[in-house]
Structure 1
Amino acid sequence: MQLSYPRAQLGFADRGLLDKKSLKICAAVSRYWASVAKEVEKGHVCRKAVQKNTIYLQGLYPRGAVSDYAKIVSVAIPQVNEKGCVIKVRDHSSGSKTKEDEEEEEEDENSLQAAYRDLQTYTIQLEERNVFCGSYNVHVLSDRSDQNRVIHYAGGDLLAIGSADRKVRIFNVLEMREVLPLLSGHAGSIKALLLNEKNGLVFSVCCDLSIRCWNIYSGACTKIFNGHCGTITCLDLHERKFVSGGRDGRVKVWNLDSGLCLKTLKHSNIVYAVKMDGAHVVSGCDRGLVKVWHAGTGTLLKVLEGHLGPVKCLSFDHWHLVSGSSDGYALAWSMVGDLKKCLTAFRHPKEVLSLELLYLRVVSGCADGKIRVFNFLTGSCLRVLVGSSRGDPVSFCVAENRMVINAPSRLLMFQFEDVKWDYTLAADQEVVQKEKQENCPLGTALTRSQKPKSHTSSQIGHLTLETQGANMIMLLLLDLLAKMFRSASKH
């Protein structure tokens, strides 16, 4: 049975299933198939050009956020007693609330400070900045498709990459090339990486239950840490200590110099995320629980409940914590005392895979291929970046003005322009399309009644953020496509 030329061409081109090797095999069959293969190859070239121009044009539009906005703001923090317990406010109200009081509370419901209404608080000064809201250049570090790729970048020039080939590669992001040595020795696919360029070290884990520490310049494996009984899923480092979490439900704190396990902290389920600083270890598990531990003694300080799915990512500072889950929520918490109340929630259309809390901004990577920047205090969405034009899940690492984005289809680096922060600006967003933003269900903080408390609240709508410049990008892309097809038809 012989397929007609248009039908065969349409099938291959629409599905995009043929790589270069397969096209060469098809071209060798006959002249007919050679012409089909040639047309399909032209389609591949056009598709790549459109994707490249899409991410380039995307970086030219800050999309409504004031890119140089910064301010020193007063932030309420709950007071605690000598036992570390938050202090509740005594209710002096004698009678029912007035209509004016109810309206004022309703207006304040979306504010982070509403969560502290029943608590004694004091005010501290913190700096907020619209990080990653300006223009940027896009660098394609790799266009090789890899579903198993894991990365870690912590600033500097080097990026660590691991995959199913059991090797760890070091990539120079400035020179845009892989550098020696190639690190090999694991028995299975690399599951997590932790790069410390300052000390010349990289940590890697796989299904063989060990953590290997490598010298990134000599390629030597300097230490092997053993102790987990299940595959290790996550790592984090602080000074000369690091922490690991695994499928055995254990969180282990290690001394980098001696190689000894200092503390073993327990979950009853798989641990997917761990973070640490000098005072705390924070871990998230498959049950949706977030546990906060004392880094020195290993004492469990509090358990935070609110997620309806596994906790996949964490980020915290001295005052606040954010956790991301497969339930599509990033939840905000207080690190102060024994307060366990969820402060606010940031909704996403799919699972949250990466999080960073920087300058009172929450940067999140989602399984819908987008990276979002939220205002931690108000919950408003300031910026939406497209990490994958195909809508593939994306995770990222950020440092200074760089964002390295890992998607199954490619590896990108967004190099943001240097910003001179302006502390005199009145608002973090341009006052445009106000009515549309008010109607957007996923661009604002949730009220208490909307925060996830049961499975009935887990149905999330699609994100419909409309931003200035989107129409211009579409027009430019359509013009680009028209020119490409006119050029292809001439040849």
Structure 2
Amino acid sequence: FLGHESYITFCHLENEAAFTCSADHTIRKWDVVTGQCLAVYRGHTSIVNRILVAKDYLFSGSYDRTARCWSVDKEKQIQEFRGHRNCVLTLAHYSSKDVLEEEEEEEEEEEKVSRDLLVTGSTDCTVKVWWVSSGRCCQTLLGHTGAVLCLILDAPNRELFSGSTDYTIRTWNIVTGEQLKVFKEHQGSVICLELVNRHLYSGSADRTVKCWLVDTGERIQTYKAHKHSVSTLKYHAGILFTGSGDACARAFNSRSGVLQKIFRGHKFIINCIQIHNELLYTASHDGTLRIWDIRGICKRNKRRWKKDRSAQGRGSQKGSLSRLFNNKVGCIVHQENGE
């Protein structure tokens, strides 16, 4: 079977399905067990940069200056969000159950769904907040002086974090639009963000990841070893996984900052990483989605955490590639090695 006709820009895992978007203007849904393409979503007129799945809806952002909402099951576009003056690079979804005030929580479920928000970041230096039901922009957040490359939400605290080519991370109140804090230590564009227990991880073109305490703004850790920009991040069980422009994924002990493993196999930049059932999914500019067995490193890390001691670096090791979805070929299965 055929897959994407150009490089993959992002992937999103939802239950037993993987969603990928591409420079070929399409989004695809895959069975993660068989590698079979289950659905194709067409409508964007340029590169699709980001996707996310919420409930039965798929959201996407594109170089065509729009974000779109699709029915996952029907492969049908149901909403379009227009208003950015340039590319839509990043997305976040805020559920109605998070934005409704306490006195409104007795509303019918259909009314709650209509209150969902989509947040978009663009190369026009703005962040926009949209009503999903109508496609109307209800708020534009101004402050960045460069393209907004990444967004992440802390829903319970109603806070939005945005990273930009202006080298800063900014915190916003998602309800009022007020800018709360600016994080300024990076020496390059802030490309990706991850939020875990009020610890904010930021990956940058300066080849580092930094960990910040959200409440104080203090930087408490810096993760080095990348040979190129840090393009994507994911935290799992005390391990910080990173993807880089040097075509490698890496695993760091999140507490100590020690590099534990390097995953080699991609030919170009890793655009996205996801973790599901102790498998690491990496999507790359080379047009492939690779799946790595990380049970060994997770098991070792859990043992170390139980002993309450910092993990010791094991140097550069090749990861176990268990499956690969190629944009033309499909699925290749490899045996585990070394785990």
Structures share fold, TM-score greater than 0.5: yes
Instruction: State whether residues 233 and 242 of structure 2, in contact with CA within 8 Å, keep that contact through their aligned partners in structure 1.
Output: yes
Structure 2 CA distance for aligned equivalents of residues 363 and 321 of structure 1: 14
Structure 1 CA distance for aligned equivalents of residues 5 and 83 of structure 2: 34
Structure 2 CA distance for aligned equivalents of residues 156 and 426 of structure 1: 32
1:189 is aligned, of 47, 50, 56, to 47
SS of aligned partner of 2:206? coil
Structure with max Cα Rg = 1
Shift of 1:303: 0.5
Cα deviations across residues 284-334 of structure 1 (Å, max 9, x unaligned)?
111111101122222111100011111110111342101111110111111
Counterpart mapping for 1:52-451 below 5 A: 146-147=6-7, 149-180=8-39, 182-196=40-54, 199-239=55-95, 240-266=116-142, 267-278=144-155, 279=157, 280-336=159-215, 339-347=216-224, 348-388=226-266, 390=267, 392-401=268-277, 402-409=279-286, 410-417=288-295, 422=303, 424-425=306-307, 427=309, 429=311
Instruction: State whether residues 313 and 355 of structure 1, in contact with CA within 8 Å, keep that contact through their aligned partners in structure 2.
Output: yes
Question: Comparing 205-214 with 407-416, which one deviates more in the overlay?
Answer: 407-416
Where structure 1 has 5 or more consecutive residues not aligned to the other structure, the ranges are: 1-140, 431-436, 438-442, 444-464, 471-491
Cα deviations across residues 446-491 of structure 1 (Å, max 9, x unaligned)?
xxxxxxxxxxxxxxxxxxx356x99xxxxxxxxxxxxxxxxxxxxx
Structure 2 CA distance for aligned equivalents of residues 415 and 200 of structure 1: 29
SS of aligned partner of 1:154? strand
Q: TM-score, normalised by structure 1?
A: 0.54
Structure 1 CA distance for aligned equivalents of residues 81 and 283 of structure 2: 27
Structure 2 residue identity aligned to 1:159: A
Shift of 1:244: 0.9
Instruction: State whether residues 149 and 192 of structure 2, in contact with CA within 8 Å, keep that contact through their aligned partners in structure 1.
Output: yes
Instruction: State whether residues 41 and 75 of structure 2, in contact with CA within 8 Å, keep that contact through their aligned partners in structure 1.
Output: yes
Instruction: State whether residues 275 and 281 of structure 1, in contact with CA within 8 Å, keep that contact through their aligned partners in structure 2.
Output: yes
- Residue equivalent to 2:113: none
Cα deviations across residues 38-90 of structure 1 (Å, max 9, x unaligned)?
xxxxxxxxxxxxxxxxxxxxxxxxxxxxxxxxxxxxxxxxxxxxxxxxxxxxx
Instruction: State whether residues 145 and 408 of structure 1, in contact with CA within 8 Å, keep that contact through their aligned partners in structure 2.
Output: no
Q: 1:322 to 1:208 in 2, by over 3 A?
A: same
Q: 1:164 to 1:151 in 2, by over 3 A?
A: same
Q: 1:386 to 1:172 in 2, by over 3 A?
A: same
Q: 1:212 to 1:349 in 2, by over 3 A?
A: same
SS of aligned partner of 2:23? coil
Structure 1 CA distance for aligned equivalents of residues 185 and 34 of structure 2: 44
Q: Percent identity?
A: 23
Structure 2 CA distance for aligned equivalents of residues 383 and 428 of structure 1: 15
Aligned residues: 289
Structure 1 residue identity aligned to 2:234: E
Question: Comparing 246-255 with 419-428, which one deviates more in the overlay?
Answer: 419-428
SS of aligned partner of 2:219? coil
Structure 2 CA distance for aligned equivalents of residues 415 and 383 of structure 1: 12
Structure 2 residue identity aligned to 1:365: G
Structure 1 residue identity aligned to 2:120: S
Instruction: State whether residues 371 and 387 of structure 1, in contact with CA within 8 Å, keep that contact through their aligned partners in structure 2.
Output: no
Question: Comparing 186-195 with 344-353, which one deviates more in the overlay?
Answer: 186-195
SS of aligned partner of 2:120? strand
Structure 2 CA distance for aligned equivalents of residues 152 and 191 of structure 1: 10
**Structure number having the greater helix percentage:** 1
Instruction: State whether residues 13 and 19 of structure 2, in contact with CA within 8 Å, keep that contact through their aligned partners in structure 1.
Output: no
Q: TM-score, normalised by structure 2?
A: 0.76
Instruction: State whether residues 387 and 394 of structure 1, in contact with CA within 8 Å, keep that contact through their aligned partners in structure 2.
Output: no
Structure 2 residue identity aligned to 1:341: E
- Residue equivalent to 1:66: none
Shift of 1:408: 2.7
Structure 1 CA distance for aligned equivalents of residues 221 and 135 of structure 2: 39
Shift of 1:262: 3.2
Structure 1 CA distance for aligned equivalents of residues 63 and 120 of structure 2: 14
Q: 1:299 to 1:146 in 2, by over 3 A?
A: same
SS of aligned partner of 2:14? coil
Where structure 2 has 5 or more consecutive residues not aligned to the other structure, the ranges are: 96-115, 320-339
Structure 1 residue identity aligned to 2:93: L
Structure 1 residue identity aligned to 2:24: D
Larger RCO of the pair (alpha carbons < 8 Å, separation 6+):
1
Structure 1 CA distance for aligned equivalents of residues 138 and 236 of structure 2: 29
Cα deviations across residues 206-229 of structure 1 (Å, max 9, x unaligned)?
222111111121121111112211
Structure 2 residue identity aligned to 1:304: F
Instruction: State whether residues 395 and 406 of structure 1, in contact with CA within 8 Å, keep that contact through their aligned partners in structure 2.
Output: yes
